[in-house]
Structure 1
Amino acid sequence: MPHKMLKLSTLAILIAGASQANAAVYTVVPVDKGNENISKVIKDLDYFSEAQANANETPISVFSTGIKASVDGENCFDDKVPCNVDNYDVTGVARRGTQGTPINDIVAYNQNDQRINDRDSLESYCDNNLGYGSCESWANQQYFGTNYNVNDTMSKEGLGGLQKKQAAWKNNYYSNAFALVDGKHVTSFADTDETKYSGTQAKQLGILLAQTTDAIANGIVEVNGKQYVYGTTTSALFKNADSNMPRAFAKRGFVNTDTIKIELPPVSTGSDFVNNMGQTEANGAVKLPTGNTTLLVVGSSSYAPSFAFDGRENDKLPDTDDIGIAGWIRL
């Protein structure tokens, strides 16, 4: 491992010496729960046949997003107070390829320009913000997926990638991001069935297709002995009468308990467009002060049309040549 030396200026040393500081020693505990579950439930799920060999050989990436807060009377930072590390459930996400655009971002990569929607715009974002020396390669991986076929980018051999999300309307889709609690795959209202979808157009969506959502669990809170898992999920795909496969919305926040799975609908504005397709996110949650049984969930609610004219064309749809679908798609 390379050795790195931190050099402090004389001014910084003087400031540090004049300041009082408190130090703590932390015990880092690896979370090993659920590894068998990840392999069995996620790795063995169906995928595009063209990419199945890659799916079998490529390790699944797992990321943690949150940890349950300590209960009253327990403090893992005080040796004199009991602490059971097994009480602290960890939330996260497992991915079997690149995500293209992060599900937790209100707009892609939290950029004011909402048109990061193709390979070239991904590379431009990288050049302007990340400073990588390999932005072309990064953009290709994010768009076409991990281990994509460089000689045939339309072959669907890559794992994940924005291209597959965009082509789902005609080509179907297989889940790429899976919400986790202690390594175990958890589903939300969006995975259940057609009846769990709200909005005036819910009955016109068609038949829900299994294994087509992407989701992330952002945290877990305990209230009066009941655990609440919250996060963000995409809509599932639906097969409609025209054999197209629409999503009901881009993303919605969710809250799960042991017995119920709740959708966080968009703020009602009287607009059918917003009520049906508006997106929400569940980014955090807290239990209100002692004696209150209310869980406060915080996040965002937003929407935007896919095409608008505001003095210039503002088309946030992908180029159909990039996704191999003939004709324009207006959502």
Structure 2
Amino acid sequence: MKAMVKKSVVVSSTLLVASYSNAALYRVVLDESPVETESVYGVAVEPELGTTDCFSTSCGDTDYAFAGEAQNAEPGFSFKEEVPFGIDNTFYYLDYDDIYSYCTSELGYATCEAWSSLLWYGDEDAGIGGLRNERDAYYELSYQTNSTAFYDSYSLSDIPDVGSNPPDVSSYSYSFVDGTEEKVITKVDENGFVLGNTSSGYYSYNNQYIQLYRQRGYYDTGTEFTVLQPEADTSITISDADGEANIISQMGRTMAFDSFSYGGESYVVGSASVATFYYSDEYKDYDSPYTSDSDAEDLDNCIDEDIEPALYPECQNFAFANRAFVWNITDANGPNDDGNRFSVSDWETSSTYYSYNDDEASAQASVRAATISSRGTYSSYPVLVGYNTELDDSDNFLMQAAVFRPSSTSNFSVSENAWTTTFIANATVEVSDSYIHSNSVATDINENMMVIGYAKRDGDYPSDRVSDNRMFVADANDTTPTATFFASLGEDIFFDSAEGKASEINNYNEIVGYVDAETHSEVDGHERRHRGFIFPYNDIGTDADRRARYNDQAWWLDDLTNGGDYSDANNHFRILDATDINDAGVISGTAIQCFASESSSSSMAYDSTAHFAYCNDGVGDERVVAVKLIPISGATSEDIAERSDDSAEDVERSGAGTGLLVLISLMSVLSVRLKKSRSVIT
């Protein structure tokens, strides 16, 4: 349906009718951050637990609370991935050169120098964001918070706790430095709790900055902010079990992505460090410009039960092997009690290569979403999705999309390794004896057992010269869940090489995310621009009336915000990404908003309603903002007014206004967060 994604355009009678009705399905509501930053991203929206449908019932701007993240610059490595770029389980990506190598080998951009600089330096003038500021914070004593999480207009400002095994404050004098912690949000759950990941922030010690841990999952009830702690598996060791357990409890990582309730108890799911990475590997040592002593960079120094590793510069970049994990947050003893935190499922590796392979990689796994199934074999039981590590015949560690299903339905209880891993066919790294994908992950699951996710094409196997994230859907109730890629489903916006991320699926099988809006080659070129989409997928659990509102097809969300009473106000925005959708149909997302200039305090409409219209004749200021898309009560498919595509010039331009800013912002934010690194398979 889009001129830039089809060589020929066929205008159906349905679309002609829609264009004459000139209305819209959604109105765009700006959600402002409580703190002033360069960019704001929409992350999640409060769930609908009843039967409200905002297309049938008029919903107000504040009816569903909204979660977002305010950022000043690029964060370097994501705080929502267990390993750099979601694939570097060797932890060899350490500095600018490594980031640049990833870009050239896995993405192939001609713009890798600029792309890598954004991740490494962040805002170099302001000294904020970027991996370099994190790597050298120990010596520079100037780290500033880059990412601030907010929910329902208040910032999550609690100081993260130090964990169960911090350096002894009576022996070592250190104090928290305000404005140095990083917080991100992953979910607003059915309890109204906010889930996400936080760093410890930095502490001043002996004229240095120390970080106790880079990331740990949390849940915020509104009155209590609780940080989840890891648990060492002492059966896994390299050389010093006690020393390794010491650094895991002090600096180990966790992540929180979703929750579920079962048997009267509530649980948070994600990942947790259970073992160290392979630290006796000099290629993992960060070569700091602030020291010429190689011994001060040796990770072996971090392993000693009699030291406080968080106080040492070389240990600031220490990493871990992580398992999929679950925490009981209802029990009175708390989620960090040994009886309330469990591994979901073991890695799919042999005992010989239990946690490390010949390439010094570390096994990884994570739960990204959970549901209580409403159908099939696992009806009424908790089913989880994410990824796990499999050992292949060549002893490679493959990080692959997986479903975690109860090992037993006769006497199931939430306990250690109570789920069995099943990898999603077609989304595996190795397909037909070739390593087609670098990695894959399942991002969400609904009560109908519909799973969504993506498989990242390896840089050696691009499609139309793009190493894209291939979005897929699968049925977790099948004996072997099998990925069906969006590109095979006959939807115009999901063309063969379309890069994208399917972020969330509600219980009506309505999927939201982002997808490429251009078709040019990225290899030896630059990144394509993206647009947020909604896809009313047709399968078990789909509501025919709801699907009919979208004319039974997938859309860029910009097409559904055009026309009618809200058209002028909506035309101040273009939707870059849709990150969440609840059962009422309310969507959270990220957009660009048009302003006449950098000094303007009020936004303005784009020059036309076309998809790629200029902002103030190409010299305007486009700002990355968080938005909520609220359905217009009574709207139907007849109210859809598809936007036009003015010309190829609008699509391909890369100068001032939309072209430059969107290229930079999407390249450095949406894609850097979601595109995965080149596989380390040999």
State the TM-score, normalized to the length of structure 1. Answer: 0.72
Q: 2:279 aligns with which of 288, 302, 308?
A: 308
1:144 counterpart = 2:121: yes
Structure 2 contact 138–210 (Cα < 8 Å) conserved: yes
Superposition deviation, residue 239 in structure 1: 1.6
Structure 1 residue runs of 4 or more that deviate by more than 6 Å after TM superposition: none
Q: 2:130 aligns with which of 144, 156, 161?
A: 161
User: What are the ranges of 5 or more consecutive residues in structure 1 without an aligned counterpart?
Assistant: 10-24, 44-59, 150-156, 191-195
Superposition deviation, residue 295 in structure 1: 3.1
Comparing both chains, which one has the higher relative contact order based on Cα–Cα distances under 8 Å and sequence gaps of 6 or more? 2
Structure 1 contact 307–315 (Cα < 8 Å) conserved: no
Structure 2 contact 286–314 (Cα < 8 Å) conserved: no
Superposition deviation, residue 7 in structure 1: 5.0
Structure 1 contact 189–262 (Cα < 8 Å) conserved: no
Find the residue that maps to 1:213 and give its secondary structure: coil
Cα separation, partners in 2 of 1:330 and 1:84, compared to 1, 3 Å = same
Cα separation, partners in 2 of 1:305 and 1:314, compared to 1, 3 Å = farther
Cα separation, partners in 2 of 1:182 and 1:259, compared to 1, 3 Å = closer
2:26 is matched with 27
1:97 counterpart = 2:76: no
* Higher share in helix: 1
Give per-residue Cα distances to partners, 1:210-232, cap 9 Å, x unaligned: 11111101121242xxx311100
The amino acid across from 1:245 in the alignment is Y
* Higher share in strand: 2
Structure 1 contact 123–135 (Cα < 8 Å) conserved: yes
2:256 is matched with 282
1:246 counterpart = 2:216: no
Superposition deviation, residue 28 in structure 1: 4.5
Superposition deviation, residue 303 in structure 1: 5.9
Q: Distance in 2 between matches of 1:294 and 1:27?
A: 37
Superposition deviation, residue 31 in structure 1: 3.3
Give per-residue Cα distances to partners, 1:1-45, cap 9 Å, x unaligned: x94253589xxxxxxxxxxxxxxx85243233x34x222xxx4xx
Find the residue that maps to 1:245 and give its secondary structure: strand
Find the residue that maps to 2:270 and give its secondary structure: strand
1:61 counterpart = 2:43: no
Cα separation, partners in 2 of 1:30 and 1:130, compared to 1, 3 Å = farther
Find the residue that maps to 1:38 and give its secondary structure: coil
Q: Distance in 1 between matches of 2:5 and 2:212?
A: 53
The amino acid across from 2:4 in the alignment is K
Matched residue count:
269
Find the residue that maps to 1:104 and give its secondary structure: coil
1:219 counterpart = 2:187: yes
Q: 1:267 aligns with which of 231, 254, 257?
A: 231
1:38 counterpart = 2:2: no
Cα separation, partners in 2 of 1:124 and 1:141, compared to 1, 3 Å = same
The amino acid across from 2:248 in the alignment is V
Find the residue that maps to 2:138 and give its secondary structure: helix
Give per-residue Cα distances to partners, 1:94-128, cap 9 Å, x unaligned: 11011111111101111233121100000011112
Find the residue that maps to 2:208 and give its secondary structure: coil
The amino acid across from 1:170 in the alignment is Y
Report % sequence identity.
21
1:186 counterpart = 2:156: yes
Superposition deviation, residue 158 in structure 1: 4.3
Superposition deviation, residue 254 in structure 1: 0.7
Find the residue that maps to 2:109 and give its secondary structure: coil
1:72 counterpart = 2:72: no
User: What are the ranges of 5 or more consecutive residues in structure 2 without an aligned counterpart?
Assistant: 10-23, 235-244, 297-312, 316-682
Compare CA radii of gyration and give the structure with the larger one: 2
Structure 2 contact 128–145 (Cα < 8 Å) conserved: no
State the TM-score, normalized to the length of structure 2. Answer: 0.37
